[in-house]
């Protein structure tokens, strides 16, 4: 009897653990982004496997990464700035810098990062040998942005959300994939140590089960975003190929393209618009929202920034993480007067953390202008509410 009771209690607990409520969004109920490495738009666009995937989704034709090399692009996508980072070495970003994780958790949206060949949940090392290839390091910290933020690693529950591809496959089989997922394949499968063809072949194969009807559960619309972190040719503007796929893509838009100008900051603004989230008060505000999501959310702020014609994004601007000491600057204060694509102000906890610098000059103006360390350096001005 006592044994039976224990079994019943055990079952009830299991059920509770699994019945996490899904927070519905305007255009999708789950967002998954998968990051490949270092290819130019022009080369990716003519690949046969990419072309096959294109038929099932929306091709973003004017998507630009921020700088070179890899790491700053990953950091930008989760934090709305890369803080001058211009290298792939170990960095730690102070706890007072918030990320997408703070926005998602505010709305009780479940999230995870999955990293192929990471040796265990929450691993904080620089690199680890993998399962593919010839014994070289395969998991690399520079492709895992979350682990560089003290605001994530200082909290055990957050750290434990940084898991392996095995954990993803288990969650997928159980139809328990979190609502926000960031995935980095290993250094072979992402194309870094291999080729465009290798990465496209891997992606095509990996994505097929994810794109089947009901793959994640019948009622849920999943948006799958396949992207490259940066282009290969550093002397050309940082133009990369990005595809939107999955059950969230409206039937009529399959096989179409969207010519709006996007950057990795558009990931943040799109999440904010879709789920009605507050914002980070950084470059997330003003970044264009993926058009079909903007349409579903009633967001009308998309436009070409006034410096669109000069976008190059090949060199990092000055900041805390620059490897040249003469180009270091403190972390800029967020502009706490901005309203983001979710129609909400800056997250309350960010306002509180940065209250002493609420009037400090800031480069974040909500204009959607694109900055780099070459032709478009950021300009610091007193915070203002309206995009200038």
**What's the order of all strands across the beta sheet hosting 222-228?**
162-163, 111-115, 180-184, 30-36, 222-228, 239-245, 58-64, 256-263
Q: Closest separation between CB of residue 200 and ligand NAG, Å?
A: 18
Compare residues 96 and 367 and give the one whose CB is closer to ligand NAG. 96
d(CA 279, CA 100): 9
Compare residues 86 and 242 and give the one whose CB is closer to ligand NAG. 86
In the complex, which residues of this chain contact ligand NAG (CB under 6 A)? 89-90, 94, 96, 106-108, 125-126, 133-134, 136-138, 187-188, 193, 235, 237, 312, 314-315, 354, 356-357, 374
- β-pairing, 111-115 with 162-163? parallel
Chain residue at closest Cβ approach to ligand NAG: 136
Q: Closest separation between CB of residue 51 and ligand NAG, Å?
A: 27
Q: Closest separation between CB of residue 127 and ligand NAG, Å?
A: 8
Q: Closest separation between CB of residue 36 and ligand NAG, Å?
A: 15
Q: Closest separation between CB of residue 215 and ligand NAG, Å?
A: 27
- β-pairing, 256-263 with 137-140? unpaired
Distance from the first to the final alpha carbon of the chain: 71
Compare residues 315 and 327 and give the one whose CB is closer to ligand NAG. 315
Q: Closest separation between CB of residue 20 and ligand NAG, Å?
A: 11
Half-sphere exposure in the Cβ direction for 10 (13 Å, CA): 6
- β-pairing, 180-184 with 222-228? unpaired
Q: Closest separation between CB of residue 368 and ligand NAG, Å?
A: 20
Q: Closest separation between CB of residue 188 and ligand NAG, Å?
A: 6
Among 286, 358, 363, 280, residue whose Cα is nearest residue 317: 363
Residue 357 DSSP one-character state: G
- By the 10 Å C-beta count (0-12 exposed, 13-18 middle, 19+ buried), 46 is classed as exposed
Output b/e per residue, 272-282; b: 16+ Cβ within 10 A. Answer: bbbbebbbbbb
Contacts of 311 (CB under 8 A, 6+ apart): 64, 237, 261, 370, 376
DSSP letter for each residue of 324-336 = SGGG--PPPPP-T
């Amino acid at each position: 009897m006592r044994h039976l009771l224990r079994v019943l209690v055990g079952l009830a607990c299991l059920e509770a653990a699994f019945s996490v409520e899904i927070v519905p969004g305007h255009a999708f109920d789950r967002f998954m982004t998968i990051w490949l490495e270092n290819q130019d738009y022009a080369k990716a666009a003519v690949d046969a496997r990419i072309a096959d995937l294109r038929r099932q989704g929306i091709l973003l034709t004017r998507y630009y990464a921020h700088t070179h090399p890899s790491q700053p692009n990953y950091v930008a996508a989760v934090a709305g700035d890369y803080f001058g980072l211009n290298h792939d070495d170990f960095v730690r970003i102070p706890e007072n810098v918030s990320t997408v994780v703070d926005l998602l958790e505010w709305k009780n949206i479940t999230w995870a990062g999955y990293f192929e060949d990471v040796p265990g949940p929450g691993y904080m090392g620089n690199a680890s040998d993998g399962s593919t290839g010839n014994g070289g390091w395969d998991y690399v910290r520079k492709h895992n942005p979350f682990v560089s933020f003290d605001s994530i690693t200082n909290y055990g529950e957050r750290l434990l959300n940084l898991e392996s591809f095995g954990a993803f496959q288990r969650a997928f089989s159980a139809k328990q994939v979190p609502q926000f997922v960031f995935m980095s394949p290993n250094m072979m499968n992402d194309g870094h140590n291999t080729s465009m063809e290798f990465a496209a072949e891997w992606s095509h194969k990996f994505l097929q089960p994810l794109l089947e009807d009901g793959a994640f559960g019948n009622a849920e619309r999943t948006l799958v975003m396949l992207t490259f972190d940066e282009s290969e040719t550093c002397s050309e503007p940082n133009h990369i190929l990005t595809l939107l796929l999955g059950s969230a893509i409206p039937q009529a838009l399959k096989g179409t393209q969207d010519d709006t100008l996007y950057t990795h900051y558009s990931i943040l603004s799109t999440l904010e618009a879709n789920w009605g989230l507050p914002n980070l008060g950084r470059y997330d505000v003003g970044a264009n929202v993926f058009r079909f999501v903007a349409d579903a959310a009633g967001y009308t702020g998309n436009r070409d920034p006034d410096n669109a014609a000069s976008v190059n994004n090949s060199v990092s601007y000055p900041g805390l993480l620059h490897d040249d000491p003469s180009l270091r600057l403190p972390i800029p204060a967020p502009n706490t007067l901005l309203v983001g694509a979710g129609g909400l102000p800056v997250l309350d906890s960010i306002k509180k953390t940065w209250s002493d610098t609420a009037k400090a000059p800031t480069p974040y103006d909500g204009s959607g202008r694109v900055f780099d360390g070459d032709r478009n350096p950021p300009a610091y001005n007193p915070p203002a509410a309206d995009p200038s």
